[in-house]
Amino acid sequence: MGRQNTYDVIVIGSGISGGWAAKEFCQKGLRTLVLERGRDVKHLKDYPTTNLMPWEFEHRGEVPYAIKEANPVVSRCYAFKEDAMHFMVKDTEHPYIQEKPFDWIRGYQVGGKSLLWARQTQRWSEYDFEGPARDGFAVDWPIRYKDLAPWYSYVEKFAGISGNRDGLDILPDGEFLPPWELNCVETYFKEQVSKNYTDRHVIYGRCAHISNPQQIHLDQGRAQCQGRNLCQRGCPFGGYFSSNSSTLPWAERTGNLTLKTDSVVKAIIHDSRMNKATGVSVIDAKTKRTTEYYARVIFVNAGTLNTNLILLNSYSSDSPKGLGNEYGLLGKYVAFHNYRTRISAQYEGHKDFKTDGGRPTSAYIPRFRNVKKQETDFLRGYAAGFGSGRGIQRDYDGFGEQLKENLSKKDLGPWTVGSHMMGETIPKETNYVKLSDTRRDQWGIPQLSINIDYDDNDEKMVKDFIEQFTEMYTKAGFTNIKTSDSKQAPGLDIHEMGGARMGHDPKTSVLNKWNQLHSCPNVFVTDGACMTSTSTQNPSLTYMAITARAADYAMTQMKRGEL
Ligand SMILES: Cc1cc2nc3c(=O)[nH]c(=O)nc-3n(C[C@H](O)[C@H](O)[C@H](O)COP(=O)(O)OP(=O)(O)OC[C@H]3O[C@@H](n4cnc5c(N)ncnc54)[C@H](O)[C@@H]3O)c2cc1C
């Protein structure tokens, strides 16, 4: 083993979870190698569109038709626009197999999807962790809210999370910077909902934006969010949390970070005599040459499905079905969030106000179905967003003089309001990913074959969301209520989770309570692949907390000589 290829820790992937692992290990003095399959993206320097005006884009922000046609999957993502499409994987470059329709949205570069995310961040509650045990699905989580609570606080302080302390047991409060304001119609709806229901709440959306910088943010070189709402381009103020603006530069400053880009991890190397992983095998994305790197501990943070792929591809004569797959569980019990359904309406009041300017979040309605006991004919529940706006409705019809005339009309019309459902789906053995037997990518790695679908529970939840939100909107005096079910494929929620779930028992789970592979304790998985169930909250804050907790444990074990 070449000394120059040996580190204390290897982290696979530099996105949200990998960035946290890198920061934790580097700041405690461990020589850390981060392997990233994509190119480097340096904060500020590599945000080519960040300060462009709308008219400076060749296609005025739209994606040219030919690109859309060639990339039907990624084109379905709302963020795939001219200003950020360079941060998103094109379908043609990284093919995968859809046994059933699955829109796999990816960002292969330093920072991963942390550059692109919508930055909504809510903690899980005790009700979420006890969900599978109480409702009898999946397996029991081996951790509870109390295990993660201090780690939520830890990552929130550093990342910068804005929010209001609402005192709700279903959505615990965090270490918040001041919240963003609701507008007058959102406040009106909040009041209406609390007047009409005791168990439903409309709160300020919690998000990873610095509303009031603290010293720890200034130390990262980050400043106050300007409400530009152009986050997906990369923020010149570091106003929102990304690995690029926060955890990775922090890790780099310690001098302990080695970041290797264009490094596609093919597999983890396993020594069966020692029952230990010794390193990873990496293919150079450009030259296709293979190199091996070695470390005492390996953190797999390639993003849920790629983490599954790497583990499945880490087979040997001792683990012929992949590392951690002794009981055939790896790649199974994948779940996601059901984002199919929307409701919109109009509000005729408050016509003396309008909206102007930007803000990075809107209102949020935590889950209220089946929270403390089973009340409906479906399991679990849904959260929802709520937003309202009233701006000039531009009429782009016509050409020349007609167009000019249409554009100069200043008709504000009524307020529009809308919500989207964020439903929990149930992890099932039949929702799985596996390696293709026949198709490989350009680096010779088997392509991922994805078989994930909705079920009857999801259909019932969609129906309930429509009924309950129609009732809530009607009670609030909203009119012209319209509902829609996009029937979008799983994946477009970009919250895929599971495949290497945590649990107590090696026969029914892949990871233990510290995110170590039951069968190979120096390999840790702390991205979405570890999730036993999905709850309804946006998941990334939980990945951050789980990663920081597991890294702390790994370092304690390393010090004791256990790893
Ligand atoms: C438009 C959009 C909106 C979103 N909104 C939200 C939101 O509001 N709230 C929320 O919580 N989440 C949101 N998400 C999801 C969020 O981005 C992900 O949950 C989060 O980035 C996952 O972090 P990760 O570290 O697991 O993976 P990623 O951030 O995807 O990083 C994985 C990294 O691993 C690298 N990699 C993959 N395979 C290999 C390999 N074989 N070798 C080496 N490197 C590899 C990738 O290139 C990538 O850089 C959103 C995502 C998108 C795209």
Report which of 406, 421, 400, 391 is spatially closest to residue 483, judged by C-alpha positions.
421
| Residue 82 φ/ψ, nearest 5 degrees | -60, -30
| Nearest ligand 1 atom, CA 243 | 29
CA distances from 385 to 24, 121, 174, 292, 459 (A): 33, 12, 19, 46, 19
Instruction: Encode pLDDT of 471-487 as tens digits.
Output: 999 999 999 999 999 99
Q: Do 272 and 464 touch, CB atoms closer than 8 A?
A: no
pLDDT surpassing 80 at residue 96: yes
Q: Do 511 and 521 touch, CB atoms closer than 8 A?
A: no
Rounded to whole angstroms, the Cα distance separating 173 from 163 reads 8
Instruction: Encode pLDDT of 323-357 as tens digits.
Output: 999 999 999 999 999 999 999 999 999 999 988 88
Closest protein CA for atom 49 of ligand 1: 112
Rounded to whole angstroms, the Cα distance separating 440 from 446 reads 4
Please work out whether the CB of residue 119 comes within 6 Å of at least one atom of ligand 1.
yes
Closest protein CA for atom 47 of ligand 1: 108
Q: Do 75 and 92 touch, CB atoms closer than 8 A?
A: no
Q: Which tokens in the block code for residue 60? A: 């005025």
Instruction: Encode pLDDT of 385-414 as tens digits.
Output: 999 999 777 777 888 998 888 888 777 889
Ligand 1 centroid distance, CA of 4 (Å): 29
Q: Is 386 helix (H, G, I), strand (E, B) or coil?
A: strand
- Give helix 456-475 / helix 184-196 axis angle, nearest 10°: 100
Please work out whether the CB of residue 543 comes within 6 Å of at least one atom of ligand 1.
yes
Cβ within 8 Å of residue 406, ≥6 positions away: 394, 395, 396, 397, 398
Closest protein CA for atom 41 of ligand 1: 265
381, amino acid identity:
G
Report which of 365, 498, 478, 495 is spatially closest to residue 416, judged by C-alpha positions.
478
Rounded to whole angstroms, the Cα distance separating 20 from 307 reads 16
115, amino acid identity:
L
pLDDT surpassing 70 at residue 252: yes
Cβ within 8 Å of residue 438, ≥6 positions away: none
Give all strands (DSSP E) within 103-200, no chain letters: 161-162, 176-177
Rounded to whole angstroms, the Cα distance separating 14 from 400 reads 49
- Looking at residue 459, the DSSP 8-state letter turns out to be H
Please work out whether the CB of residue 311 comes within 6 Å of at least one atom of ligand 1.
no
| Mean model confidence pLDDT for the chain | 96
- Looking at residue 528, the DSSP 8-state letter turns out to be G
| Nearest ligand 1 atom, CA 120 | 8
- Looking at residue 499, the DSSP 8-state letter turns out to be E
The model's confidence at residue 2, banded by pLDDT at 50, 70 and 90, is low
Q: What confidence score (pLDDT) does residue 384 get?
A: 98
Q: Which tokens in the block code for residue 187? A: 């406040």
Ligand 1 centroid distance, CA of 502 (Å): 20
What is the radius of gyration, based on Cα positions, of the chain? 23
**How many CB atoms neighbour CB 99 within 10 A?**
14
Please work out whether the CB of residue 538 comes within 6 Å of at least one atom of ligand 1.
yes
Instruction: Encode pLDDT of 44-74 as tens digits.
Output: 999 999 999 999 999 999 999 999 999 999 9
The maximal CA–CA distance of the chain, rounded, in angstroms, is: 80
| Nearest ligand 1 atom, CA 542 | 11
Give all strands (DSSP E) within 207-362, no chain letters: 257-260, 263-271, 276-284, 290-300, 332-335, 337-338, 341-347
Cβ within 8 Å of residue 511, ≥6 positions away: 324, 500, 501, 502, 503, 517, 518, 525, 530
Rounded to an integer, the average pLDDT of 258-273 is: 96
Q: What confidence score (pLDDT) does residue 410 get?
A: 72
Least confident of 96-105, 264-273, 387-396: 387-396
Containing 524, the helix (H) or strand (E) segment is strand 520-525
| Nearest ligand 1 atom, CA 17 | 25
Above pLDDT 70, what percent of the chain? 99
Rounded to whole angstroms, the Cα distance separating 228 from 83 reads 14
The model's confidence at residue 89, banded by pLDDT at 50, 70 and 90, is very high
Ligand 1 centroid distance, CA of 286 (Å): 22
Ligand 1 centroid distance, CA of 117 (Å): 8
| Nearest ligand 1 atom, CA 105 | 53
Ligand 1 centroid distance, CA of 80 (Å): 15
Containing 404, the helix (H) or strand (E) segment is helix 400-408
Q: What confidence score (pLDDT) does residue 3 get?
A: 67
Ligand 1 centroid distance, CA of 66 (Å): 26
